[in-house]
Structure formats: C-alpha cells, structure tokens
Amino acid sequence: MALDQITMTKVSDRVLHQDLGEMVLNMGPQHPSTHGVINFIVHADGEVMKRAIPEVGYLHRAIEKIGEMVSYNGFMPYTDRVDYLAAMFANEGYAIAVEKLMNLQVPPRAHYLRAISCELNRIASHLISIGSMAMDIGAVTPFPYALRERESINDLIEALCGARLTYNYHRIGGVAFDMPDDWTPLCRKWMDHFDKVLDEWDRLISRNEIFLQRLAGLAVIPAEMAISYGLVGPNLRGSGVDFDLRRDHPYGAYPDFKFEVPVGKGHAGARAGGTAGDCFDRFYCRVLECRQSVAIVRQAIDKLPPGEFMAKVPKKIRPEAWSEAQSRIEAARGEMAYYVVSDGGERAYRVRARTGSYLAMGIIEDLSKGLMIADLVALIASLDVVAPEIDR
C-alpha cells in the first residue's frame, strides 16, 4: 500500500484537522521524553499548544486476550509485562483477584513477603520516575544517582526471587520463594544507606531553585478534575486528594503497618509559585512516598511472621461458574484493578487490567491547551506514564 494511503487511514480527520496558522507536530513515537512508544500529535501556534492528542497502542500485546487463552496460573508471567518497571504490583493484583474467586486464605508470611517485595519495587519505580523527570527537563546528573539505588534494589529483589525485571514472584496462594537467610541484614544495610540518599536527593534536585521554578505552578490539576478524569495514585494525591488504598481499603499485610500518605499542597513553596496539583507536587509526592515505603519495609522485616509462604492450591484452578471478582491494589502508578470473570473452566472467561497510566493519558488533551511544547515533556514525566501499562 502506498505511503500516503497509510497516513490517510491511520490518522483520523480530527487529528489531521488544521486551522490556519496552526502547526501540526508529531512528538513521538520514538521520542526520548515519551517514556516508551507513544505519539503526541501537537497542534501548536508557535510554541504554545492548542492541544496535544495522544496516540497510543504501539505496545498493545493483547494481554487481556492472552488471559482468556492460558490457565489461571499460566497468566502470572504475562502480568509482569503489564508494567515492566513495577511488575510486582501486577503480580499481586492478579493473584488477589483469583484468590478472591477461589476463597483462598493466604498465609501471613506470604502477605508480608508480598508487602516487602512490592514496597521495594515501588521505590525502584519511583526512582526511575523522579530521576527521568529531572532528566527530561534538562538535569541529567540525578538520573544515574537514581539508577544506582535502583540497581541495589534489583540486587535485593534478585536475591529474593531470581529476577531483576520481570519478577514473576507472587503466586496464586502466596509467593514463589521464601526469603533467603541472610537477606534481612542486606536489606537493612541498604535502607540505612538510602535514608541518606533521600536527604542528598532533596539537596541535589528537590530543593534546587531552577528545578522549583521550572515546575512550580505548571500544569495544575485541581482535585475535582483529577477525580473526574480517573487519575490515581501519586497523580491523584499530588492534587491534594488524601486517598491511598493501602490505608483506606487495606489488603494483605497493610493493616499491620503505620505509615503516612503524602499529599500535594504546593510543596514548591509560595515564593516559587507552588500550587497544589502542579507538576512539582506530583514529583514530590513520589519522593515522599519513597520514605514511607522504606518505613513499611522496616516494619515488615521486624514483624515478619514465621510459617508457610504458600497456601495449599489445587493443581487445576476452577473457580465457581459465573463468579467474578475485582481486586484493587495501590500500585506504583496508582490504583491497579484486576477484574476476573470465571465460567467454571480452567481458563478465565475474562481478565481485565485497569491501569493508572491508561487514564492518565486521557487528561493530557484537555490539560495541554495553553501550555508550551516544552511543558508537555514535564507534564508527561510528572504523570509517570509507562507505555506498556497504557497499551497492555
């Protein structure tokens, strides 16, 4: 097929529609700041955007369809691929949904191991987010600092489950492996080190005057708008909505832990023009959440109960016919919900993964009006979208 025909059918009239004096700019799909393969069709008047229309789907792998084709246990490795930066959460969300369908009781030790692995993963994911956000708006130095810490977390998680990216650690009914004997001292040592790194991080970037001026008051999302557009997680809390599933609808081991839920309140400060819900608040909520995650891991290691790490699970999982369950967990990119429907067979009738990044894309078109093109980069980075989690 000729190239012009392809262009004509790929992009609809609405996207191609061009007013006089308007420039249409393709930002992506291969653009370093889009954090994966996303295309933004930017309608701009000079440097000011009229709208930026996100075109997604480049990484669509039909994971929900695969869920209907493989057994309940067989789907677990695929959940890793939903969000490659925070695979633990997808593992956990899917496992909880199927356990709910089966009425399965998970041993307490497994709950704790899940919480430990998830919180470490949350720190790793947030480090990528805050590091790449600094890099996207021009500060390259902090990113390797963040990556260095993430490497240490990868080492810890590798010792726990043998993988550094696609963990496949959680199982329906528990976790795959128990903690190695010498693991806790290593983890404690790293966390003591990481406390200092977070202080250093504040000195290096979070309280950096240029950084503050760049992000304060930029792309403000009011609380009502964030709720209406379905933003979740740090994006929602950045807008000042005090909501965290770990605290408000606790699951697994979370009722046992004490932690704070950081919310956005113009952290950039009045002098810089900080407003609740601006890009800096979303960024800084993640920095603060890293501290809370460290606190949770410390408590979990202290209280780790002995016993089994895996429940007795039948070899073939067959939930009751036409039962359905939804699990809600607080993932690194906010609320992740798995909705699983069973028809009584060995395979799920429907698996649905509701992810935070997908709906974060929905707000960009309406939010981008009036922003500069360079601010779109900061906005995408502050929403912390990950392309495979959008497209699934």
Quote the DSSP letter at residue 125.
H
Give the x-and-dash track for 99-138 against other proteins (CB under 8 A). Answer: -xx-------------------------------------
Phi/psi region, residue 389 (left: phi>0; alpha: psi -120 to 50; beta: rest), is alpha
| 345 binds other proteins per the rule CB under 8 A | no
Beta strands of the chain (E only): which ranges? Answer: 23-27, 39-45, 48-55, 170-171, 174-175, 324-331, 334-342, 348-354
Q: Which of 93, 123, 85, 61 is closest to 286 using CA atoms? A: 123
| 60 binds other proteins per the rule CB under 8 A | yes
Give the x-and-dash track for 237-266 against other proteins (CB under 8 A). Answer: ----x-x----xx-----------------
| 200 binds other proteins per the rule CB under 8 A | no
Q: Which is nearer to other proteins, 174 or 319 (CB)?
A: 319
Report the distance separating Cα 261 and Cα 161, nearest Å.
28
Binders of other proteins among 170-199, rule CB under 8 A?
A: none
Q: Could you tell me if 125 and 85 are in contact, meaning their C-beta atoms sit under 8 angstroms apart?
A: yes
| 318 binds other proteins per the rule CB under 8 A | no
| 65 binds other proteins per the rule CB under 8 A | yes
Report the 10 Å Cβ neighbour count for 242.
Answer: 12
Q: Considering only residues 14, 196, 203, 315, which one is a binding residue for other proteins as defined by CB under 8 A?
A: 14
Q: Which is nearer to other proteins, 53 or 139 (CB)?
A: 53
Beta strands of 78-229 (E only): which ranges? Answer: 170-171, 174-175
Q: Radius of gyration (Cα) for the chain, nearest Å? A: 21
Count of residues near other proteins by CB under 8 A:
48
Q: Considering only residues 57, 144, 180, 222, which one is a binding residue for other proteins as defined by CB under 8 A?
A: 57
Q: Which residue has the tokens 């004997």?
A: 181
Which range, of 7-15, 35-43, 72-80, 109-117, touches other proteins by CB under 8 A?
A: 7-15
| 384 binds other proteins per the rule CB under 8 A | no
| 366 binds other proteins per the rule CB under 8 A | yes
| 52 binds other proteins per the rule CB under 8 A | no
Q: Considering only residues 46, 189, 228, 370, which one is a binding residue for other proteins as defined by CB under 8 A?
A: 228
Q: Considering only residues 109, 114, 237, 328, which one is a binding residue for other proteins as defined by CB under 8 A?
A: 328
Which range, of 22-30, 60-68, 190-198, 282-290, touches other proteins by CB under 8 A?
A: 60-68
CA dihedral 314→320→322→326, nearest 10 degrees, is -60
Angle (deg, nearest 10), helices 87-102 and 108-136: 150
| 326 binds other proteins per the rule CB under 8 A | yes
Q: Which is nearer to other proteins, 72 or 201 (CB)?
A: 72
Q: Could you tell me if 364 and 30 are in contact, meaning their C-beta atoms sit under 8 angstroms apart?
A: no
Q: Which is nearer to other proteins, 12 or 141 (CB)?
A: 12
- The minimum distance between CB 209 and other proteins, in angstroms, equals 35
- Say if residue 314 is preceded by a cis peptide, omega within 30 of 0: no
Q: Which of 118, 189, 155, 165 is closest to 332 using CA atoms? A: 118
| 51 binds other proteins per the rule CB under 8 A | no
| 320 binds other proteins per the rule CB under 8 A | yes
| 354 binds other proteins per the rule CB under 8 A | yes
Q: Which residues lie below 8 Å from residue 315, measured CB to CB, with a gap of 6+?
A: none
| 10 binds other proteins per the rule CB under 8 A | yes
Tokens of 321: 């016919």
Report the distance separating Cα 22 and Cα 291, nearest Å.
45
Report the distance separating Cα 293 and Cα 248, nearest Å.
16
How many CA atoms within 13 Å lie on the side-chain side of 290? Answer: 27
In Å, what is the CA distance from 17 to each residue of 20, 23, 40, 118? 10, 10, 14, 45
Q: Considering only residues 64, 178, 256, 308, which one is a binding residue for other proteins as defined by CB under 8 A?
A: 64
Quote the DSSP letter at residue 92.
H
Q: Considering only residues 84, 177, 183, 358, which one is a binding residue for other proteins as defined by CB under 8 A?
A: 358
* Binding site residues, other proteins, CB under 8 A: 1, 6, 9-12, 14, 56-57, 60, 62, 64-65, 100-101, 224-225, 227-230, 241, 243, 248-249, 320, 322-326, 328, 335, 337, 339, 341, 349-350, 352, 354, 358-359, 361-363, 366, 391-392
